[in-house]
């Protein structure tokens, strides 16, 4: 059976106790990540030092990865508005939106462990490219049906399931490949920059898609979105091979998946952080898939209003991720996460009950500032704590941060159909805050997170 050097709550691995370096420290890091002076230019170059927030972009390979990620998530941001608009125009049902989201989420949940194991066994660039190729082919098919007037609701359900099947292979490898490209020393900055870019696309993508639907129609808007997916796939060609870290004995695929699960169950803090990050998101983030209901039935502002509202939410997420990238103080992470959880619950509650569209815009912006600040700190903490040999498999469980909010759309949409979207979203925000506080009170491991993170940063 393959062996992974599990880290205890005291931060010492089983191998280190026997005098053997742990995988996290023994694993060969990229040469460009070895020097601690990350943001200084060499003497004599005549170039001013880069801002600290851009230090990861000094790595050429990360620039290719950054471009691919940004374009891919820009297309996803536009697709969220385009797909929601098409579903609601075809069906006029909140529950129909929930079923589309559920068919994205269910395959993600079921296949995620396999995708994580593959990310830890095969070349990560190849895995990402293969998954994105499937997405491109599926989107071209939907576009052809739309332009020929043959698109039906069941086509969108099938495409949602195809996307949900592809994402478990794309996302863990995409997360894990960052360590291949920049190394552990730059990982916090690289992940925060990546999250900032993702949330920037959530501003631009939905806003442009919403305006394009109103200006030129949904067909041309969908065409541009497919082109963006193609560009994202093309950018991966500039990325070098990104092989997974090799342990002493990789065993079978089933053993590999079991090893990842055993690591998570063994490391109590990582396990708690997974649930601490996922459960509140399951409750509150489904509101994003119900924005079309607010704009069509509550405020009646049309596709342009939907684009602006989605952009405001994305702008908040971008600001939250940028705040994490700029964060230099490693102390007080847990306190910051708890304050962010309370703040996003409060602002989302106020957003849901707002009778005015113009008031809802700053409220959804502030809610997403704190939601993404919370989520980014949680994800970075997990990535900093796990060794590279199981990073892909642990990242596959982080896939739940994408899939559970989508799956949560189904029950929240069902409540919205009975009681209205405002009541459903307001109630979910209150429950999310109570759950976050409950995790803190019930978990000694979580309360000791800051000290464990301090040790991980110096190892």
* Structural tokens at position 132: 């994105």
**408 within 8 A of 108, measured Cβ to Cβ:** no
pLDDT for res 185: 64
Name the residue among 209, 223, 221, 112 with its Cα closest to residue 170: 112
Distance CA 288, CA 146 (A): 24
* Structural tokens at position 441: 């009170």
Distance of CA 334 to the CA centre of its chain: 20
pLDDT for res 423: 94
Neighbour tally for 367: CB within 10 Å: 28
Distance CA 280, CA 432 (A): 5
| Rama region for 5: left / alpha / beta (φ>0; ψ in -120 to 50; rest) | beta
Distance CA 450, CA 384 (A): 12
According to DSSP, residue 405 is labeled H
pLDDT for res 20: 35
pLDDT for res 355: 92
Distance CA 261, CA 266 (A): 9
Work out the end-to-end distance of the chain between its first and last CA atoms, rounded to an integer number of angstroms: 27
Angle between the N-to-C axes of helices 94-119 and 400-419, in degrees from 0 to 180, rounded to the nearest 10: 170
Q: Is 13 helix (H, G, I), strand (E, B) or coil?
A: strand
Distance CA 121, CA 113 (A): 13
* Structural tokens at position 451: 């000290």
What's domain 59-240+265-458's architecture?
Answer: Up-down Bundle (1.20)
* Structural tokens at position 365: 């912006």
**405 within 8 A of 285, measured Cβ to Cβ:** yes
Q: What is the dihedral of CA 339, 345, 347, 351, to 10 degrees?
A: 170
**284 within 8 A of 428, measured Cβ to Cβ:** yes
Distance of CA 272 to the CA centre of its chain: 18
pLDDT for res 247: 52
Helix (H) or strand (E) holding 220: helix 218-235
pLDDT for res 177: 76
Helix (H) or strand (E) holding 11: none
Distance of CA 55 to the CA centre of its chain: 21
Q: Average pLDDT across each block of 10 residues of the chain; the chain has 459 residues. List them in order.
A: 43 39 38 38 48 67 85 89 90 87 83 73 82 92 94 93 86 74 70 75 79 87 94 84 55 70 79 80 82 89 85 82 69 82 93 94 93 83 76 67 73 89 93 88 82 69
On whether the pTM is more than 0.75, the answer is no
pLDDT for res 372: 83
**Domain assignments of the chain as residue spans, ordered by start:** 59-240+265-458
According to DSSP, residue 7 is labeled B
Neighbour tally for 183: CB within 10 Å: 22
């Amino acid at each position: 059976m393959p062996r992974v050097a599990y880290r205890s709550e005291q931060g010492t691995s089983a191998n280190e106790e026997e005098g053997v370096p742990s995988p996290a420290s023994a694993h060969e890091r990229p040469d460009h990540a070895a020097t601690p002076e990350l943001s200084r230019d060499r003497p004599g170059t005549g170039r001013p030092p880069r801002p600290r927030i851009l230090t990861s972009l000094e790595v050429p390979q990360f620039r290719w990865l950054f471009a691919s990620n940004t374009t891919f998530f820009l297309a996803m941001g536009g697709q969220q508005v385009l797909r929601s608009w098409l579903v609601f125009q075809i069906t006029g049902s909140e529950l129909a939106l929930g079923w589309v989201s559920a068919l994205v989420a269910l395959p993600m949940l079921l296949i995620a462990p396999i995708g994580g194991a593959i990310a830890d066994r095969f070349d990560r660039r190849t895995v990402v490219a293969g998954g994105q190729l499937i997405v491109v082919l599926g989107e071209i098919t939907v576009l052809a049906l739309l332009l020929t007037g043959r698109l039906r609701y069941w086509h969108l359900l099938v495409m949602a399931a195809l996307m949900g099947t592809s994402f478990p292979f794309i996302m863990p490898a995409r997360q894990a490949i960052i360590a291949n490209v920049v190394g552990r020393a730059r990982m916090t900055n690289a992940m925060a920059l990546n999250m900032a870019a993702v949330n920037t696309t959530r501003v631009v993508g939905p806003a442009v898609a919403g305006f394009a639907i109103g200006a030129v129609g949904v067909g041309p808007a969908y065409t541009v979105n497919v082109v963006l997916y193609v560009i994202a796939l093309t950018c991966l060609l500039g990325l070098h091979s990104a092989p997974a870290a090799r342990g002493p004995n990789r065993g079978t695929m089933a053993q590999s998946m079991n090893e990842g699960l055993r690591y998570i169950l063994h490391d109590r803090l990582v396990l708690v952080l997974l649930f601490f990050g996922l459960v509140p998101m399951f409750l509150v983030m489904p509101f994003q898939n119900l924005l079309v209901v607010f704009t069509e039935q509550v405020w009646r502002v049309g596709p342009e209003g939907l684009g602006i509202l989605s952009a405001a939410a994305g702008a908040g997420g971008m600001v939250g991720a940028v705040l994490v990238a700029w964060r230099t103080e490693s102390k007080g992470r847990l306190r910051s996460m708890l304050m962010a959880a309370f703040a996003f619950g409060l602002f989302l509650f106020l957003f849901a009950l707002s009778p005015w569209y113009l008031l809802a815009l700053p409220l959804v912006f502030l809610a997403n500032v704190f939601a993404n600040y919370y989520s980014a700190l949680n994800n970075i903490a997990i990535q900093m704590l796990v060794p590279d040999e199981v990073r892909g498999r642990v990242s596959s469980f982080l896939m739940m941060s994408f899939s559970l909010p989508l799956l949560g759309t189904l029950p929240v949409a069902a409540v919205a159909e009975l009681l209205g979207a405002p009541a459903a979203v307001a109630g979910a925000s209150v429950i999310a805050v109570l759950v976050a506080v409950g995790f803190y009170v019930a978990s000694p491991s979580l309360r000791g997170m800051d000290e464990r993170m301090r040790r991980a940063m110096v190892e």
